[in-house]
Amino acid sequence: MKDQRLEIKDIVKHIDDATLGTLNVPEFQRKFVWKPSKTRDLVDSLWRGYPIGTLLLWESSYSSPRSALGTQSQKQWIIDGQQRVASLALLFGKKPYWWEDVKDWNQCFQKYEVLVNIGKDKDSLEFGLPNPVRRKSDEWISVREILALNNEGLSRLAQDIATKMGEVNKFAEVHAKLQSVKKIEDFKIYEIIVDHELEDVAEIFNRLNSAGTRIRESDIIRALIAAKQPGWARDEFDPFLRDLTEKGFELDPAILVRTFAIIGGGSARLKEIPEAFWERSREFDDRWQTTKEAISFVTRNFFQYGILNSELLPAHNVLIPMFVLRARFPSDFLFNKAFCWFLLATRDGRYSGSALTVLDQDTKKINLSTSFDNVINSLIQPLSASPEFSVDDYSEEYTERFMRLMLYILAFKNEAKGWIYQDIRIGYDRSDNELNEGFKPEWHHFFPRKVLRDLHDDPKINALANIVVLNEKANRAFNSKEPKEYLKEHGVKEERLREQLLPTNQDLWRVDKYGDFLQERASNLARVSTEFMERLRRS
């Protein structure tokens, strides 16, 4: 890390020339959003000599994604201070070379003009935004016009103003006021330049912009890829991401980027991927196709267990080894065995802590192993989570996301259907069919909370064994009635209960038998969950 102080006029030079300029704005940065009043306040602060904050720049080995084609100058990306730099550009009338929309620039050029009232005392000049009255006044002068003049031009402007005001003898006074505004260009801004790796830059940006737009490492990577091959992110990466979202898997772009880096570059740590990896080539295209095929294959296979939407998954980083496994062993890949590991790793919380470190360890195992079975065994070995389930597991609260996922998978595997629309299977609906509209699984208390609170003081109201997977309409319809009452009212068949491993003994549907009900349901769920995991393992 290093620091320096630059005069504003030099900063403006660095954004005005695509070839010689050193400053740039990465693609992940938001557009210029300051209001004109903030630009006016910035000018006032500069004139008064008030601090306006530090510029934070990132100096990396990568080329700029917004440089003019063929330019070779090393760029420093503005990580913090973009809005101030853009305001300075408008103030000086110098369009930054990265501001590609000329129409938008021209509109901002008119909108963000700042005027200064020369009629005020030298030590209390007033800065304001244009309006019809100020436009007609001889005392309100464009700051942009003042900054654009040299000493000779400044003298002529002072003479013209004094003449128009009918006070030629005040030339010296007017000239001094104009000079005080002109000195804004000499104001020095402190710059801190960091040369950290991608992961650190993303964290630095987010800490500095905690109240604003957050960025991810993938945002930076996409900007870097754009430097090497303009249009790739727009034409290849983004459409694939959108396609996944439309199919129910709305993933952080970082998941795809890191998967691509592992499959193509062999490392989970982006800083270890050579810059040349991101350059467009036949090899790059082949790696990307392999990555897309692996991700598509795995997500399609999730559907067979009812995971039609990534919202169901407690964690998403655990998907990356699944994708990499498929790419590494395209012929020998057995989804069920991989899915068994996936569930165990999720239950273990393996990727809930330092995901990058763990991912790096697992990636090396995948790359070094010679067979799919060996990889699975090596990935399972460090896990402490058991493939067996107990009554206590399903006595936990349903807010425990992994156990809730298991509850859902068991219901889907048993082809459980709704309790109001009893011909519609439980699962995320991805169609526009009005009958299925909104058929999104929700967690319904078999013994409604209100019933238990009113009639039974039991601390296990929210136990997983008291939860069934239904849709929103059923959840509302059954909300405050006892099981025996709402099941009879809606004609819920006994078959519907068996699909969700519920006791069919109506004697257990009584509030005073709630403890016995929980014990039997939890026992059913634990037994079937253990059998399910064993079948996956033996597949």
DSSP for 434-491, written as a single string: TTTTT---EEEESS-HHHHHHH---TTTTBGGGEEEE-HHHHHHTTTS-HHHHHHHTT
The residue-averaged pLDDT of 435-463 equals: 74
The residue-averaged pLDDT of 150-165 equals: 91
Which stretch, 17-21, 360-364, 387-391, 472-476, has highest mean pLDDT? 387-391
Residue 530 has pLDDT above 90, yes or no: yes
Domain 2-99+186-201: CATH architecture, name and number where available: Alpha-Beta Complex (3.90)
Helix (H, G, I), strand (E, B) or coil at 397: strand
Lowest-confidence region among 290-304, 386-400, 416-430: 416-430
Residue 513 has pLDDT above 80, yes or no: yes
**CA angle in degrees (0–180, nearest 5) for 155-157-160:** 110
Residue 478 has pLDDT above 60, yes or no: yes
Residue 154 has pLDDT above 90, yes or no: yes
Lowest-confidence region among 73-77, 156-160, 252-256, 292-296: 73-77
Domain spans, the chain:
2-99+186-201, 115-184, 231-380, 393-538
Q: Which residue has the higher pLDDT, 403 or 209?
A: 403
pLDDT band at 244 (very low <50, low <70, confident <90, very high): very high
Q: Which residue has the higher pLDDT, 3 or 306?
A: 306
Q: Which residue has the higher pLDDT, 15 or 283?
A: 283
Q: For the stretch 209-220, what's the b/e string if a residue is b when 16 or more beta carbons lie within 10 angstroms of its beta carbon?
A: eeeeeebbbbbb
Which pLDDT value is given to residue 113?
A: 94
Q: How far is CA 142 from CA 41, 88, 121, 166, 519, in A?
A: 15, 14, 17, 20, 80
Q: How far apart are CA 520 and CA 398, in angstroms?
A: 17
Residue 427 has pLDDT above 60, yes or no: yes
Which pLDDT value is given to residue 431?
A: 45
Lowest-confidence region among 99-108, 281-290, 463-472, 475-484: 475-484
Residue 442 phi, psi (nearest 5): -130, 165
Residue 219 has pLDDT above 60, yes or no: yes
Alpha helices in 33-131, H assignment, sequence order: 36-48, 82-92, 102-111
Q: How far apart are CA 325 and CA 338, in angstroms?
A: 8
Residue 25 has pLDDT above 50, yes or no: yes
Which pLDDT value is given to residue 455?
A: 61
Which pLDDT value is given to residue 99?
A: 85
Which pLDDT value is given to residue 65?
A: 42
Which pLDDT value is given to residue 465?
A: 96
The strand pairing partners of 128, in sequence order, are 115
What's the pLDDT tens digit per position in 357-377? Answer: 888 899 889 988 889 999 999
Q: How far apart are CA 275 and CA 209, in angstroms?
A: 27
Strands 76-80 and 55-59: antiparallel
Quick check: 439 and 471 in contact, CB under 8 A?
yes
Quick check: 304 and 336 in contact, CB under 8 A?
no
pLDDT band at 340 (very low <50, low <70, confident <90, very high): very high
pLDDT band at 531 (very low <50, low <70, confident <90, very high): very high
Q: How far is CA 164 from CA 70, 120, 151, 157, 168, in A?
A: 50, 16, 20, 11, 8
pLDDT band at 2 (very low <50, low <70, confident <90, very high): confident
Which pLDDT value is given to residue 218?
A: 64
The residue-averaged pLDDT of 461-479 equals: 82
Nearest CA to 451 among 517, 524, 521?
A: 517
Helix (H, G, I), strand (E, B) or coil at 142: strand
What is the residue-averaged pLDDT of the chain? 85
Q: How far apart are CA 268 and CA 364, in angstroms?
A: 9
Q: Which residue has the higher pLDDT, 519 or 73?
A: 519
Helix (H, G, I), strand (E, B) or coil at 355: helix
Per cent of the chain over pLDDT 90 is 51
Which pLDDT value is given to residue 318?
A: 94
Quick check: 461 and 452 in contact, CB under 8 A?
yes
Quick check: 177 and 146 in contact, CB under 8 A?
no
Nearest CA to 351 among 374, 328, 319?
A: 319
The residue-averaged pLDDT of 325-350 equals: 96
Q: How far apart are CA 242 and CA 136, in angstroms?
A: 53
